[in-house]
Amino acid sequence: MTPLVRSVRSADTLTRDALAVLQPGFTGTTAPDWLLRRLGEGLVSVGLFGRNVADPAQLAALTGRLRAEREELIVAIDEEGGDVTRLEVRGGSSFPGNHALGAVDDTGLTRAVARELGRRLADCGINLNWAPSADVNSNPANPVIGVRSFGAEPQLVARHTAAYVEGLQSAGVAACTKHFPGHGDTAVDSHHDLPRIAADLNTLRERELVPFRAAVAAGTRAVMSAHILLPALDAEHPATLSPAVLHGLLRAPEAEGGLGFDGLIVTDGMEMQAISATYGIERGSVLALAAGADAICVGGGPADEGIVLRLRDALVRAVREGELPEQRLADAAARVRALAGRARSTGPGEGAAPAPGIGLTAARRALRRTAAGSYRPLTEPVHVAAFTPLANIAVGDETPWGVAAELVRLLPGTETATCTAEAAAASGTAALVGGLLTAAAGRRLVAVVRDVHRHPWMADALHTLLAARPDTAVVEMGVPQAPPQGALHIATHGAARVCAQAAAEALTGRRPSPDE
């Protein structure tokens, strides 16, 4: 009977370890029964998304219910601030994103912003943030990083990545620096396909890896892998599935050319097409663990008990069939549990003093104005033309952007029109702009764009509009790569709500009173 007992105990341990390495999501604003049940069976992490958040009180109640089932628990969220927000998914973020902080280039400010964001997360019961983005935005055509990056210069990105990690973790929330070894030099979104970076190893070390070295030196508790192919490191496997990248580069000691990272390695979402379309989620998860990942992030798309059971069983089967070493799975599970225990010991907020206005202060400092001549501030209701690109999946289409709502607060009666690539293609640029001019009916115009350098239709429409109405003000809420245009050009370096508020203040020359 002894061998049977040992076998059952081994099977139970294996199953618990397989559950421990998963970071799944779920739907709804309350914890489903299946999730609570799996927490009792060995699940150690839960990932939250915008669909799980209504308000801070609800979120605190949700995380409290989860911890009632398992006290040592990692509750993770993708809260970068700026364009990528889950806490304020339906209203826009109270914090500017990385690109705005990089534009200011005050590491003390970045540290303070991250600390306040961390304090709010901790107060809601969240102890792991899938942030910051340490990507060097070296490719202006990048469709998924852009304003999520601190900038295009490696040393600037490095010092702000380190400051962000320090600020966030000083509030008791573990940082998960992403997307290793760097998603900045891509023209493809890994949500849709597998990007390929052709840079040689020296370029990677002098550019992409610089901010990650800074993050490791700053003590980041976790690093998230990227679903990108780097032939200089591994010609066959994307970074998330590559032993050469995760074990050989990220984990290897500095003396051997690695980063010497000893914390938790988390994968990017395994449902993203760069992995799922080629390997499948189950097979991809097995390969990721074998390559050196410790935690499997899944749930931004599939978010039910079925995906958890499929992945659990795939990992158990891979161990039994010899494809995944049992010790590798055990080590990964131990790292997850160690972070869960450490997160519990730090406690919410760690006494971080509230700084509620720091986000708006940062957004105002990030603003850059370029005037073609003397520009009269707006004093009457205006017409806003919002040239709206397709939102990338990381940002989502729930979060509002633009300056119209903030201008309405300052100039009641302001109206807005949304212009898209589809509308431009259907009617033609001349007709699109003609409609805007007719709708404006003599009012002053504000054109709002986002990464105009990446969208030819947007650039054409803006050029046509400015030819007809040179007094138009232009607000660029993406990366200000294109030359400034308009009677007044404002670069916000991001589309967070506070960036819009700062832009509206600059357009009107006044700030709203507290009761407005």
Residue of 268, 455, 489, 493 marked active site: 268
Tokens standing for residue 311? 């992945």
End-to-end alpha carbon distance in the chain = 76
H helix intervals, 42-153: 56-69, 98-104, 107-123
Q: How far is CA 414 from the centre of its chain?
A: 32
Contact 166, 117 (CB under 8 A): no
Residue of 179, 191, 489, 493 marked active site: 191
d(CA 134, CA 298): 21
d(CA 473, CA 308): 50
**DSSP 8-state assignment for residue 81:** B
d(CA 56, CA 65): 14
Tokens standing for residue 96? 């500017």
Q: Which run of H or of E encompasses 134?
A: none
Annotated active-site residue 191? The verdict is: yes
Strand order in the sheet with 264-266: 45-48, 74-77, 128-129, 174-180, 222-225, 264-266
Contact 222, 174 (CB under 8 A): yes
Residues sharing a CB contact under 8 Å with residue 197, sequence separation 6 or more, in sequence order: 182, 185, 186, 204, 208, 228, 229, 230
SS3 content of the chain, % helix, strand, coil (to 5): 45, 10, 40
Annotated active-site residue 268? The verdict is: yes
| Positions marked catalytic | 191, 268
